[in-house]
Each structure stands twice: as structure tokens, then as C-alpha cells.
Amino acid sequence: QDDITRTGYMDELMRTDISISDEQKPTSRSRKRFVSVYEPDLSPGLPLYDRREDIPAGDSLQDLSAFRSGNDTLTPYIDEPVDYFNPGKKRNYYVEFSINELVTQIDFNSLNYSYQQFTGGGAPIYLNAGFNVFTQVGVTDLLEDYRIIGGVKLGSDLTNNEYIINYSDLSGRVDKELILHRKADDIYQSTYYATIRNNELLYKLSYPLNRVLYVAATGILRNDKTVYLATDPFNLSQQDLNRNWAGLKTELVFDNSYNLSDNIPVGTRFKVFGEYFQLVDKDFHNLYVVGMDYRRYDRIHRTLIWANRFSASSSLGTDRLIYYMGGVDNWIGARFDSNTPIDYDMNYAYQTLATNMHGFDQNIRNGNSFMLFNSEIRWPVFQYLFNRPLNAEFLNNFQLVGFGDVGTAWTGPGPYSDENALYREIHENGTIRVVVDVQKEPVVAGYGIGIRSRLLGYFMRLDLSWGVHDWEVQPAKWYFGLGLDF
């Protein structure tokens, strides 16, 4: 054994020969790293190159297949990083629509908010359609560039129905909308009953200036038809009133707000707008409307917010728009104050509401101009105390609200002008007509508290408020309404 060790026989036996020839030694050129390659781009018919420098000057990178073939199998490898990617085969995209929205529910809102035809006063004004069955279907393409929405509201009497079709093209920076809207309403006055049918065609263009600001222009064609119901021989002899209007509306809209919860936004919103309507008739009648609406929502602490709103508007022209101030939005069981005079010499064509003004019925003030300030403290009680959203819908949306309102509506240059119809009382007895000048404070105010919550899917509001008229606090008044606050 000692002889074997001395001769080194065992060392030779355990040694592994790992020597290689010079031809087999790796070089910098043969040490390649593997890279990922999109498989459909591998084409055996394309030229194969070892290095990028070997590419002929006339070939583009898109035509290059940087592979080397040692046998029938293509093995991807290059000696430099790849800074390009060849997409798959291009195919044409054909617009195909699919249903993305289907709604059927009991509803109380209108499909499209527009001015109502002037009915002469004396009855509550409802900007919403009341109790109805609402069905809406929406379809869109894969990229959501084109949308079609169709909706119908069936009234409880199946007569006062509302229909809307909306087509939107959002493929470019300028959004385009085409809207067809039809609505019917019954009006009940002391001397007649009638059905008013409105048909509207609107084309709207919207251009975003940035993420929170855009300008829009809307062309309007509108037909208003009043059909007098045959309740007596006099109304039977009345001819239907048919009027056609053409109009243009421009607006600047800013909105950087976001919602912490239902009815709890934070941020700023405002809109400045102008409208012009021209009666398409042999008689020259026109209507101008200018206005603004500014809203600010500040967070006091967590979900406790302070909401403020200032709105104002005025109408000019041969025909006017009358604003009825008083009440709240979407007031269930609304009442109308017939004691406030209406100046019929203003030749009103349309009517709308100026809300909210708590503590009063509709028409505590009216005119072709208005100005209104609203302020609210909104406190989602349970969400604030638990500091998280709750599973119970009623508790999660339960809110206590404190509010105050100050505003006025007037005719003439200003609310304190002698031309304001508020300062005139007209008394008629046969052929005798007496006009009495009176002194009233044009500005009214209201304040109170309320609760908010969502029940059975509907956001409900209950308010207890007091009005201030001629510097005197009025008796308390309750309001019940549906929908979110401003």
C-alpha cells in the first residue's frame, strides 16, 4: 500500500480530466443569453443574423429576426438587449354593441330637466314626473366610445308618459350627444284643464379644457303643444296652442369634487351659462337667460362637511322665464302660495323653481330674476362615530342636517326697484280696477333641521323649518322630499 501511495497511482485514478481543446473554449461571441420573443413573430422565412452589425443597411428592425438556426429548430438568442417589440398580426376592429345597463324601478325623477311651459300660476310646480315606472336600457361598444341609452317613464295614469333616446359619441376629444325627448303633463287651472306635450331635439358638443373644466354648446329644437280638454263648451271651442322654438345654450362647467359617501361631497363645483330661444313663427319672440351656480363643500372633520351654494339667474327678451321661489327640490305634496302677485305684463313663456327656500310654500317670491344662498351642515352620524362604512344601508346613510337659506326673486332692475311687482296689489271688481302700493321686504329667509337616509333604495329627506318674512318668524313647516341635496 505504501508503494502505491508513493507512486501517485491513486491520485491519477481520482483525478478528473476537464481539459478542453482550444476549439471548444468559449469565446465572448459564443456566450449568448436568451431573451423572450413573441412566438407569432418567429418566421423561418426571414433572414437570420448572428449580430446586429450583420444586418444589411436596407433592412429595418421590424423585418429582423435575430435568431440562429443550427438545425430545424429555431433558437432565439442575441448578444445585445432588444429595445423593440413586434406586435401580433393586426386585425380590423368592427364596432359591436352589447347591453351594459338595464334598469327597471319605481321612480320619481324626470329623464330630462327643461323649462316648463308657463301655466299662469295658481297650482304647485312639479319639475319631476311624480310616481311612475321607469325602464332604461343602455348599450355600448367594446371601447365605450359609442353609447345608446333609451328610457321610458310610464305614469300611474298611463297618459303622462316620458320618453328619451340618447346617442353619445365619445371617440374623440369633443364629446357629441344627440338627445330626443318627449314628455306629457296635465295641468289643472281654475278655468280650464289641458295637456301639455313637449318634444325636444338637442345636439350637444362638449370640449374638456382640462380634467375638471369643460365648455359645452347645445343646439335645441322644441315644440310645445297645449291641448285643451273638453270639460265644458268653452274649452271645447278652444284651439290647440302650438309653438316651435329654436335655441342655443352655452355653458362653462368646473367640478373637482368627490364623494365621501352619498350626499357627502368634498370640493368645488360651478357653472356659468347663457341661453337664447327664438320662436320659429312670423311673430318675433325671443328669450334670453343668463345665470350661474356655485357650490363649495368643505370637510370639517372626517365625514362632517359644510356645504354652501350661491345661485342667480335672470331672463330678458320679448318673452320671459318666471322663477317661483319657495319650498324644496322634489317636494312630495307641494303647495303653492296664491297671495303673492304675478306680473302677467312680463309675457312669461316658461316657468321653473328657485329652491331651496325652507319655511315657505312655492311662490313666496317670483319674478324674471332671482338670487339665492344656501348653507348646510351635514353629519352622517353612525358613519362618523364608527369611522367606517356600515353594512346597514339605513344606518350608513343616516344624516343630521342643519340648514339656512336667504334669497329673493323680483321683476324690474332690482328687488328694491319700484318696478318690482311685489309692491303692487291689484283689486278688481267688475269694471273697476284698483292698484294699491304696498311696502314689503323682498328678501326672505329660512332655517331648520332635518334628517336624511336611504330606505328601500330611495334617498329620503325630512325637514322641520321656520321662515322669516318681513322680519317675522313664521310658523314651523314640515317638508318631505326625495333625492340628494344640492
Residue 339 has pLDDT above 70, yes or no: yes
Higher pLDDT, 188 or 136: 136
Asked if residue 414 lies in contact with residue 390, where contact means CB atoms within 8 angstroms, the answer is: no
Higher pLDDT, 447 or 6: 447
Residue 16 has pLDDT above 50, yes or no: no
For 195-207, the pLDDT digits (tens) are 899 999 999 999 9
Angle of CA points 289, 187, 290, to nearest 5°: 5
H helices present in 106-260, as ranges: 233-237
Please tell me the pTM assigned to this model: 0.78
Instruction: Dig out the grid coordinates for 273 from the structure.
Output: 351659462
* Cα–Cα dist 184/160, whole Å: 5
Mean pLDDT computed over 79-102:
68
Residue 85 has pLDDT above 60, yes or no: no
Cβ-proximal residues to 167 (8 Å cutoff; 6+ apart), any chain: 146, 147, 148, 177, 178, 179
* Cα–Cα dist 165/152, whole Å: 9
Neighbours of 242 (CB within 10 A): 12
Higher pLDDT, 61 or 368: 368
pLDDT of 237: 83
For 116-141, the pLDDT digits (tens) are 889 888 788 887 666 667 888 999 98
H helices present in 354-440, as ranges: 381-386, 393-396
> E strands, 209-263, where?
213-228, 241-255, 258-261
Residue 113 has pLDDT above 80, yes or no: no
Higher pLDDT, 46 or 241: 241
| pLDDT over 70, % of the chain | 79
User: How does the average pLDDT of the chain come out, rounded?
Assistant: 83
Cβ-proximal residues to 194 (8 Å cutoff; 6+ apart), any chain: 186, 187, 226, 227, 228, 229
* Cα–Cα dist 343/364, whole Å: 14
Residue 235 has pLDDT above 90, yes or no: no
**Band of residue 75 on the pLDDT scale cut at 50, 70, 90:** very low
Radius of gyration of the chain (CA): 37
Asked if residue 442 lies in contact with residue 422, where contact means CB atoms within 8 angstroms, the answer is: yes
Asked if residue 191 lies in contact with residue 209, where contact means CB atoms within 8 angstroms, the answer is: no
Residue 108 has pLDDT above 70, yes or no: no
- Taking phi over 0 as left and psi of -120 to 50 as alpha, with beta for the rest, 120 belongs to left
pLDDT of 426: 79
Residue 143 has pLDDT above 90, yes or no: no
Residue 84 has pLDDT above 60, yes or no: no
Residue 54 has pLDDT above 60, yes or no: no
